Homo-oligomer: A and B are copies of this chain.
Amino acid sequence: MVSQLNPRERILMGPGPSTVPHRIRQALSAPTLGHLDPQYIGYMDETCQLMRNVFQTSNPLTFPVSGTGMAGMEAVVVNLVEPGDEVIVCVNGVFGARMKDNMLRAGANVHTLEVPWGKSFSKEQIAECIEQHPASKLLGIVQAETSTGALQDLTGLGQICHDAGMLLAVDAVTSLGGHDLQVDAWGIDAVYSGTQKCLSCPPGLSPVSFSPRAIEKMDARKTKVQSWYLDVSMLKNYYTGGGGRAYHHTAPINMIYALREALAIVLEEGLEARFARHRELHLKLRAGLEALGLCYVPDNSLATLNCVALPAGVDEAAIRGRLLNEFDIEIGAGLGEFAGKAWRIGLMGHTATHRNVTLLLAALKECLP
């Protein structure tokens, strides 16, 4: 009635998902347990602890939202924002703009701090914006802007926000497990990521973490969280053991198995070694692309997402098609303002190997005119 499932073994070098290693796909296919089974609760608790280690936090409220990274974004926004709250959102690409859209839907009064696409924000710009909007309660910023390749330096921002009585919320979808992210040391109050980027787990979950300061804000809410599914006041009873593991929704059991394995792999490699590998292979890729005559967009600073301007006069979709069909390599098109102007080449997690970089460069050489 339906054909046999037989997906090709692509090398995923787009903006995500990245290539998922066999070990993680094997974990994914383990026998399904019930979501209240003590053995499953044990795996879930381990998963949350591994997540704390990768987030570099001791936040008790660290768990996987049962949806993709965008569900994590919404979870952070709707739990921390009440209608009428003033917030500042930093926008330098698609994902900052989405955070703003989420804030508006949650009823926030949003002040937008913008720099051109591709750029990142200086501490001075942010401090100045906070001074102009002293009633703001939260600053939202993207660490790794997947649409442009901009890496945002977050050091010092926690202090600036806390001194102003604000929370700091960070989008770490394309950085967690690929770039340094020190949730506690940097004073981050809320952070969300995705499983399908530098963790090389299939898409479907969003690791999140909330600081005690963020919990205080949530506990002081005067209004109900507008999303039932993402209401942390209920979710925390299941994930952190309060209220006897009260059932909220059925956790995505098999995806949790996969995430647990993915996080274990990250920690076996070691965070420092993993960040260094991403950096090293980014430099190799950059040198190779530039040798082919391709130019990075200005200020591309992410190792995990390489945004290169399209060479003049090429049919970009045709080249991506050849990479996919002749070499089983996926790279990404441009997004938003960069649509039709750039390629996005991901080097994330299991994808970031010498073999893949060498192969992509050789294949591109064949495909470029």
Q: Are A228 and B105 in contact (CB under 8 A)?
A: yes
Q: Which residues of B contact A1 (CB under 8 A)?
A: 264, 267-268
Residue contact B37 to A196, C-beta cutoff 8 Å: no
**Partner pick for A260 among B5, B8, B35, CB 8 A cutoff:** B5
Q: How far is the CB of A172 from chain B (nearest CB, A)?
A: 15
Give the complex CA separation of A31 and B17 in angstroms.
11
A354 in the interface, Cβ–Cβ < 8 Å?
no
- Could you tell me the distance between the alpha carbons of A37 and B71 in the complex, rounded to whole angstroms? 22
Residues of B within 8 A of A353 (CB): none
How far, in angstroms, from A250 to B18 measured CA to CA in the complex?
A: 12
Judge whether A68 and B69 touch: CB under 8 Å.
no
A25 touches B16 (CB 8 A): no
| Residues of chain B contacted by A261 (CB below 8 angstroms) | 5
A132-140, A251-259, A355-363: which lies at the B interface?
A251-259
- Cβ distance A75 to chain B, nearest Cβ, rounded Å: 9
Report yes or no: A202 in contact with B32, Cβ–Cβ below 8 A.
yes
Q: Binary interface profile of A, 246-287, with partner B (CB < 8 Å = 1, else 0)?
A: 011111111101001101100110000000000000000000
- Contact yes or no, B50 A33, CB < 8 A: no
Mark interface residues in A31-53 (1 if CB within 8 Å of B CB, else 0): 11111010110010010001000
- A12 and B35 alpha carbons, distance in the complex (Å): 11
Closest to A10 in B: B33
Taken together as a complex, chains A and B put the C-alpha atoms of A39 and B6 apart, in Å, by 9
B10 touches A37 (CB 8 A): yes
Q: How far is the CA of A20 from the CA of B32 in the complex (A)?
A: 6
Contact between chains at A229 and B74 (CB < 8 Å)? yes
Residues from 305 to 358 in A contacting B, C-beta threshold 8 Å: 324, 330, 335
Within 8 A of B (CB), among A62-77: 66-71, 73-74
Answer yes or no: A204 CB below 8 A from chain B CBs: yes
Contacting residues, chain B, for A251 (C-beta < 8 A) = 68, 203
A178 CA / B49 CA spacing, docked (Å)? 38
B contact residues around A2 at 8 Å (CB):
46, 50, 260, 263-264, 267
B228 & A102 in contact (Cβ 8 Å cutoff): yes
Chain B residues in 8 Å Cβ range of A114: none
Residues of B within 8 A of A226 (CB): 105-106, 226-227
Least CB separation from A228: chain B residue: B102
Assuming the contacts A7-B40, A10-B31, A43-B7, asked whether A70 and B252 have C-beta atoms less than 8 A apart, the reply is no
